[in-house]
C-alpha cells in the first residue's frame, strides 16, 4: 500500500489585495468611463434645451395668429419694464417695434419667469427671455385694431427682413435696412420671434448675432434680422410670421378682406 505524500503549499502564493499600481489603473479606467458618460449627457441636455426652445417659438407664432384672428390686430412687443404686457396696452404705435419682448402676459403664454416674460429652454435668466419684433409699416396698421382691414390686402406691405447672413447687408441701423441679394430668407415678414440661444449671457456682439437686438449688440435696432447657420459664432433660434400665412388665416377666419 503506497504511502501518501503530504501536500506542499509552499509554492502557492495568494494576494491579499490590490497593489497601488493596480488601484491607479482601475481609477484611470473609471475616470475614462465617467468622462465618456458625462459628455453625452451634456450634449443631450443641449439637444433638449434646443428642442424645447424651438417648440416655444412655434407656439408663440401660433399664439400670434390666434390673437390676430380674435382682435383684428397683432400685439405690440413688451418692453423691459412692462412685465410681459404689450407696450402700449391696446396696441397702435408700438414703443419697441424691433427691440421688444414677446408679450406673454397679454397672450397668456407660458413658460414665463417671475416677471411675466416668456423664456426659452435654456433657463430663466433675463437674457433667456424670448424676443419679438413687429413690422411698423402702413402706419402701424398691423398693430392697430382693424388697421389691416381698413388698409386692405392689396396695400398692406409688412417689411421685416430675415437674412441668412449679415454679409452684404445694406443700410443697417436705418429704416431701410435690407439683406444682400440672395441672402433674404424673408423680405416681407410681419413678425420675428427669437431666442438668444445657449450663449445668451455672454455673446451677441459677433458679426451675425449683432444684428439681432440683445444686451451686447452694438447696433441700433432696425427691421433686418439674421437667422444664420448654427455654429460657434451663432446660436440664436428664430422663427417668423410671413405675410402669406397671416393673410391666409385672417381670410379663413373672415377677418379679411
Residue 83 lies in a domain: no
Q: How many structural domains compose the chain?
A: 1
Residue 12 is predicted with a pLDDT of 46
Question: How confident is the model over 32-61, as pLDDT tens digits?
Answer: 666 665 667 777 888 999 999 999 999 999
Residue 31 lies in a domain: yes
Question: How confident is the model over 77-134, as pLDDT tens digits?
Answer: 999 999 999 999 999 999 999 999 999 999 999 999 999 999 999 998 999 999 999 9
Q: Which helix (H) or strand (E) holds 184?
A: strand 184-195
- E-strand ranges in 93-248 read 100-101, 131-134, 160-163, 184-195, 224-226, 237-242
Task: Find the domain containing 222 and state its range.
Answer: 20-75+92-99+130-252
Residue 146 lies in a domain: yes
| N-term to C-term CA, the chain | 119
Q: pTM of the prediction?
A: 0.84
Residue 6 lies in a domain: no
Amino acid at each position: 500500500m503506497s504511502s501518501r505524500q503530504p501536500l506542499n503549499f509552499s509554492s502557492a502564493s495568494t494576494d491579499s489585495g490590490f497593489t497601488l499600481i493596480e488601484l491607479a489603473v482601475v481609477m484611470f479606467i473609471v475616470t475614462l468611463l465617467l468622462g465618456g458618460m458625462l459628455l453625452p449627457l451634456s450634449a443631450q441636455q443641449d439637444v433638449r434645451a434646443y428642442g424645447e426652445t424651438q417648440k416655444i417659438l412655434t407656439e408663440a407664432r401660433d399664439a400670434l395668429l390666434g390673437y390676430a384672428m380674435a382682435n383684428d390686430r397683432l400685439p405690440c412687443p413688451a418692453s423691459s419694464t412692462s412685465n410681459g404686457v404689450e407696450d402700449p396696452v391696446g396696441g397702435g404705435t408700438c414703443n419697441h417695434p424691433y427691440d421688444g419682448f414677446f408679450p406673454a402676459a397679454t397672450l397668456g403664454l407660458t413658460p414665463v419667469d417671475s416677471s411675466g416674460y416668456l423664456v426659452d429652454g435654456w433657463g430663466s435668466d433675463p437674457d433667456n427671455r424670448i424676443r419679438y419684433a413687429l413690422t411698423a409699416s402702413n402706419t402701424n396698421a398691423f398693430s392697430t385694431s382693424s388697421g389691416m382691414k381698413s388698409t386692405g390686402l392689396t396695400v398692406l406691405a409688412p417689411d421685416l427682413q430675415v437674412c441668412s447672413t449679415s454679409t452684404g447687408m445694406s443700410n443697417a441701423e436705418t429704416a431701410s435696412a435690407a439683406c444682400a441679394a440672395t441672402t433674404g430668407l424673408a423680405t416681407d415678414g410681419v413678425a420675428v420671434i427669437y431666442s438668444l440661444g445657449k450663449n445668451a449671457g455672454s455673446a451677441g456682439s459677433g458679426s451675425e448675432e449683432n444684428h439681432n437686438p440683445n444686451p451686447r449688440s452694438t447696433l441700433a435696432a432696425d427691421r433686418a434680422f439674421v437667422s444664420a447657420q448654427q455654429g460657434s459664432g451663432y446660436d440664436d433660434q428664430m422663427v417668423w410670421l410671413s405675410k402669406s400665412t397671416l393673410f391666409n388665416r385672417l381670410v379663413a377666419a373672415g377677418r379679411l378682406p
